[in-house]
Structure 1
Amino acid sequence: MSGLDHPEQVGTAKDTVFLSYSRDDQPLARKVLDLLQDAGISVWWDAMLEGGARYHTVTEDKLETADAVVVLWSKVSAVSHWVHDEATRGRDRGALVPVSIDGTEPPLGFRQFQWITLPADADWTADTPEIERLIKAVKLKQDGERSALAGPAGTEPSGTGTIAAPAKTSPVISRRAAILGGAALAVGAGGVAAWSGGLFTGGATDIKLAVMPFSVMGEPGEGSYLLEGFAAEIRSQLARNPLLHVAAKTSSNAFRDTGDTAGAISGKLNVNYLLTGDIRREGDTLAGGAELIDGNTDRVLREFEIKGPIDSVFAIQSQIAAGIVTLLSGADDRSTADGLSGGTQNVAAYDAFLRGQELYDSGTDEASDRAALAKFNEAIRLDPDYAAAHAKRGRTLALIQNLYGAPRERDGAMNAAAEAARRAIAIAPDFADGYAVLGFIFATGKLDVAGALTPWKQAYELGKGDADILSRYAIFRSRIGDDSEAKAAIALAESLDPLNARVFRYAGNIAYNSREPGAAIPEYEKAYGLNEGLSSYHNLVGWARLTLGDLASAKTNFEAETRYVFKKTGLAIVEDKLGNRAEAERHFAELRERQGDKSNYQYAQVHAQWGNEAEALAALEAAWAARDAGLVQIYRDPMLDPLRGTEGYQRAVGRMGFE
């Protein structure tokens, strides 16, 4: 009878084996467990925990006291942070017994040890040679020996290397070791002086931190959005503190389940410290833990023990953020003193907001965008003073109108969007995103660039730690002709979000607007290297090549563009420059037939490049009448250069507030 049938034994006796595995491999893990127990070996795995057991405390105790840590490597477990942590501790204690259950080699860092590869058919019995070797290896550990895995006579061992002698190490706190006690934050022994005085005294630029996505433990279900958003809120709070340089969400999340070490991640993100952890829901209680890791040494600087009711989630997040600022800088935290800027204390509202955010970020279609709007409305219904939800509602209203709305609905929709942003600002005057949304609505919704200037400046001052705000502010400054400010802001965004394709696309647009098309192309290529599905990549490179006079390459890029409007506009211009006027006119006729009155800005670009001044100005007037969002490019667009000295062009840019 397996230990699974006796949960009351948990924590009462010393087990010989700690079994480490991925949840996806549980059926195979159960087979291994039964075979070891049939051989008289006491085995512990986390499925033995009772519902009320202190999950991480028991797990840590079993990991530290077992004679052998049997790690079941597979395609799934090789990229699991949990399995890596447990394998590392087993290795450091000299207790590691590695086993491949599907032919997968152990990941880097564990291949110096000889491992056992079990047969692929999973029809394992006590007589299976590899099972016999596993049992023998475990019993050697039980007897205190640290020798190589040995197979039956006449057999060759799988894998290479030997099991190392036990290392003399100080205790290592695994990501399963931390629990929140009550809603309070506990500091490890011996760390009080460093915590209160600050470990580091360098300038703010030296404190570079990434908050990794926390592993969500247990089965997905109600509250899963709350758990998925746990680390993101800590990141957001830290990013608001001027003492820290915090890597942005997209770049940090790129390392989810990659299996990279803290040092490797830190190097790729150009940060010094990582916050990583886990979280799970146990009834109405949150449990989990976090570790602040020195990326240069892989050393755990501090563990955060956390546990509390669901409605303490905001206090927990704030305490972790404040503790990190105090630890790294020695200063009192200035980002969370007034609570969650823009946030809520209503868990249901927070959950609705996170669901809306996921729908918004997916950008699937009109249905998903409207579903996102419904979630933001629900969050506001649950908490009318939820500034972040009001701001996101405003951005979504503007987006829906720009993409799907009828021209006659434009003024009403944009006014409603602006009112939502103003409501966010009234609730939380220091919330950067409220100002950023208002600036976005004025610039691209109302085509009032002068009106957008003040909220954008305020968003920048309050949101210098937010890569998304920085990059949007940078492209706004570029469009109004402030190249130096635009380049400074986008450079900071790149440092915060080095794996976000969108940031590099903005950097390319800024270089192009600055009449530096040669500098734009490498930025677009970086973006494409990060995301081969990048929207309008070929179109952007096509414009840069066209401006450089490389007409053949420009044509190739426009032909490869998937968005019909951009493809046909580019080809209409480049074919004319190549002397193929009939082809150019064919592309333009097809564009007009398909788009009707929806693409007047593009018609103005074509006519301007063809030398048709009157037609180009008429198209700009038609674009203004329809409030075509493309007009935000009018001031810096090289395709409109032939119009710049005309009275009609000056009138167009003047009424938008460019001059």
Structure 2
Amino acid sequence: MDSVKDSGLAPDNRPSVFLSYARADQKRALSVIAALEQSGLRVWWDGLLEGGDTFLPTTEAALESADAVMVLWSKTSVDSHWVRDEATRGRERGCLVPISLDGTHAPLGFRQFQLIDLTKWRGKADAAEFQAAVRAVHGFAGQPHRAPSKPAGKAPTRRSVLIGAGSAAVALGGGYALWRALMPGAAKASENTIAVIPFSNLGDESQAYFSAGLSEELRATLSRNQMLRIAAPTSSAEFRGNDQDVLTIAKRLGVAHVLRGSVRSGSELIRVSVELLNGRDARVDWSETIDRKPSDVLAMQTEIAAIVSRALANEINAQAVAEGRSGDLAQIGGTKNAGAFDAYLRGKALAESSASEETDRAALAQFDAAIKLDGNYASALAARSKVLAVIANETSRIDEARLFYDRAIASAEAAVNAAPKLAEAYSALGYAIYNGRLDPKAARQSYERSRELGEGDADVLRTFALYCAYTERALDADAAIASSIALDPLNPGAFRAAGHIAFARRDYDLTEARMRQALELNPKLSAANATLGSAMFLTGRNQEALKAYAAEPTAFIRLSGEAIVQARLGNKPAAEAAFNELLSDYGAASKYQQAQVLAQWGQGPQALERLREAAAVRDSGLLLARADPLLDPIRTLPEFSQLLSKMGLS
């Protein structure tokens, strides 16, 4: 028996926790287990092991399968090699939830993680400090958090855990088998996971934007059904025009189903052929060819999404509709105007090309055209806000940048008003306020709402994770980026973001690992080599750091890094040459990078002055200052704290 269905147990999609603790702390651990289970979580602990189970393989498998690894640090457990090993794996997997039972600090190597203090906890599941840990687990599992509704019961025993699961536990043959049965996603992808591969364009090359855009909008429509888990577009696009077989695609993306199709568009008719394939044996579960007039393309998109949801599992879509979570055009920010939809798809294609400021401005023109045809087209308003923020970052004129950010905020606010449940609208608003006005407090509400609505959107999760990382919310950042990577495992930007998050908390080993993953996917990815170089520099590997900086394609980041490392190597002429090139080529636009260099050169007053100048021109680099390791040499200066406080960044 190797499936939930065969075992007679109902599928259990609750978030799962691997609990690591020292034997001397078992009494407190049992209280934690009881409260976790009352909070709706599944817990694996060594008390689940049956007599005759092989301890190491069973424990390792559970450690690899759990959504989160919760470690109970205490005076005893910090000296336990077992606990440290399990905590290390949780850190490597990016799902560590550290708890202090008695006020003991985590050992070296784990202090970059925000520690949840349960010293004064009295065993109540609804206590604020305990619910902080529960929220972290839900975040790693990519599921919404709901507070417990019943009072805590007595601590579980190994016997009650097994009996409570039903007599099937005996038939399955041991505690670990039960654990696996209760985790349908541990050995294989859950049935509600699907990847939408960009549709092939069978018509004129000028219509390629339409086939790609239609499949992307179909993916977005499906992702708003919260009963489904949809692979993100960047990872799915890896297989655009790719002849890899369905089994390979499903395995690489970690999904149970693959949706692919083709589009042939003409002036009077659009033909879309779609097939849903099973990722385990490549059989076709459903296929259909749909012909529609161009004016009916919007209805066709929604029609296909509904059919796919039903094909995956009738009960999934039925439950989502019953709970109002399947999404409709009015709710998700769509349009009923075919012309507006076409302009929006053209704008998306231009924006995603990231070719130049010229293509970004061309994308803006298309979004403007879409909004002119439908002023309440929230998805277009949100996309317009994002591209306005991109242009603001590209321009070298400070006054123009402020104007673009103001327009980005206004566009995002209009998107929120038009579609109050559109996650990307709140994400765009949070980003524009955070970067345009350098106001993390004002941006927080929008970011929080985007996280709440966007649990299936990898881009929303990634943006939220970076915001949390630079506002010192380590657990929230870790949970969000873990969910983003799970949805988008082939996106180099996701791993780069994870590297930035690790760098902000000074975990340089993890920074290096994540940046290497990003560069393996895209060797030309901006800012990845520079952050890799910074991690190497801060761990004393100066020659390696210099090579990493030399490979950085973004010049002003490369120059600041080279100026720092050359000075450390004692090569003053090379350091000054890089710094002078930074000044001459980028001037006021590089004030923050200049401050980093001067701080590392030991010129604290000059570094602080550059930061003040950066503040005067509202340099968005200042948002990194609160957590930037390269500014550590001046972090203890009173003037540094005063500057951050004055800007609302402390």
Deviates more, 1:356-365 or 1:435-444: 356-365
1:296 is aligned to 2:280: yes
1:260 is aligned to 2:270: no
1:485 counterpart (458, 464, 476) = 476
Query: How far apart, in 1, do the equivalents of 2:554 and 2:577 lie?
Result: 17
> Is the CA contact (8 Å cut-off) linking 1:436 and 1:456 kept in structure 2?
yes
Query: How far apart, in 2, do the equivalents of 1:257 and 1:593 lie?
Result: 44
Q: How many angstroms does 1:367 deviate by?
A: 1.7
> How is 1:210-229 mapped onto 2 (pairs within 5 angstroms)?
210-221=195-206, 224-229=208-213
1:347 is aligned to 2:338: yes
1:274 is aligned to 2:274: no
Q: How many angstroms does 1:433 deviate by?
A: 0.9
1:515 is aligned to 2:506: yes
TM-score by length of 2: 0.68
Aligned residues: 458
> Is the CA contact (8 Å cut-off) linking 2:331 and 2:421 kept in structure 1?
no
Aligned partner of 2:644 in structure 1 is 653
Query: How far apart, in 2, do the equivalents of 1:460 and 1:304 lie?
Result: 35
> Is the CA contact (8 Å cut-off) linking 2:198 and 2:211 kept in structure 1?
no
Q: How many angstroms does 1:626 deviate by?
A: 0.8
Deviations 1:393-444 (A, max 9, x none): 1222222122115212343332221111000000000111111111111111
1:242 is aligned to 2:236: no
> Is the CA contact (8 Å cut-off) linking 1:450 and 1:656 kept in structure 2?
no
1:543 counterpart (526, 531, 534) = 534
> Is the CA contact (8 Å cut-off) linking 1:262 and 1:298 kept in structure 2?
yes
Aligned partner of 1:146 in structure 2 is none
SS of the equivalent of 1:229 reads helix
| CA 1:559–1:263: 2 relative to 1, 3 Å | closer
SS of the equivalent of 1:257 reads coil
Deviations 1:284-312 (A, max 9, x none): 22223211111101111122342222222
> Is the CA contact (8 Å cut-off) linking 1:237 and 1:321 kept in structure 2?
yes
Aligned partner of 1:307 in structure 2 is 291
Aligned partner of 1:232 in structure 2 is 216
1:625 counterpart (602, 616, 620) = 616
Q: Report the residue type matching 1:263 in the other structure.
A: L
1:496 is aligned to 2:480: no
1:597 is aligned to 2:580: no
Deviates more, 1:571-580 or 1:414-423: 571-580
SS of the equivalent of 1:344 reads coil
SS of the equivalent of 1:307 reads strand
Q: Which has the larger radius of gyration?
A: 1
Q: Report the residue type matching 2:381 in the other structure.
A: H
Query: How far apart, in 1, do the equivalents of 2:566 and 2:200 lie?
Result: 53
Aligned partner of 2:112 in structure 1 is none
Query: How far apart, in 2, do the equivalents of 1:408 and 1:216 lie?
Result: 42
Query: How far apart, in 1, do the equivalents of 2:282 and 2:521 lie?
Result: 26
In structure 1, stretches of 5+ residues that fail to align are 1-200
Query: How far apart, in 2, do the equivalents of 1:353 and 1:644 lie?
Result: 45
SS of the equivalent of 1:636 reads coil
Q: How many angstroms does 1:495 deviate by?
A: 1.2
Query: How far apart, in 2, do the equivalents of 1:656 and 1:318 lie?
Result: 46
Query: How far apart, in 2, do the equivalents of 1:238 and 1:202 lie?
Result: 21
The structure with the greater share of residues assigned to helix is 2
Q: Report the residue type matching 2:250 in the other structure.
A: S
> How is 1:62-461 mapped onto 2 (pairs within 5 angstroms)?
205-221=190-206, 224-329=208-313, 330-331=315-316, 332=318, 333=321, 334-337=325-328, 339=330, 341-461=332-452
Query: How far apart, in 2, do the equivalents of 1:612 and 1:375 lie?
Result: 48
SS of the equivalent of 1:297 reads coil
Q: Report the residue type matching 2:605 in the other structure.
A: A
Q: Report the residue type matching 2:560 in the other structure.
A: T
Which structure ranks higher in relative contact order (CA pairs < 8 Å, sequence separation ≥ 6)?
2
1:577 is aligned to 2:568: yes
Aligned partner of 2:132 in structure 1 is none
Deviations 1:79-99 (A, max 9, x none): xxxxxxxxxxxxxxxxxxxxx
Q: Report the residue type matching 1:588 in the other structure.
A: F
Q: How many angstroms does 1:251 deviate by?
A: 1.2
1:562 is aligned to 2:553: yes
> Is the CA contact (8 Å cut-off) linking 2:524 and 2:553 kept in structure 1?
no
| CA 1:550–1:322: 2 relative to 1, 3 Å | same
Q: How many angstroms does 1:234 deviate by?
A: 1.1
| CA 1:298–1:559: 2 relative to 1, 3 Å | closer
1:471 is aligned to 2:462: yes
Q: How many angstroms does 1:338 deviate by?
A: 5.0
Q: How many angstroms does 1:323 deviate by?
A: 2.5
| CA 1:620–1:314: 2 relative to 1, 3 Å | same
Percent of aligned pairs with the same residue? 37
| CA 1:311–1:656: 2 relative to 1, 3 Å | farther
Q: How many angstroms does 1:243 deviate by?
A: 1.3
Deviations 1:331-367 (A, max 9, x none): 3243234556111111111111111111112222222
SS of the equivalent of 2:332 reads coil
Q: How many angstroms does 1:551 deviate by?
A: 1.3
SS of the equivalent of 2:649 reads coil
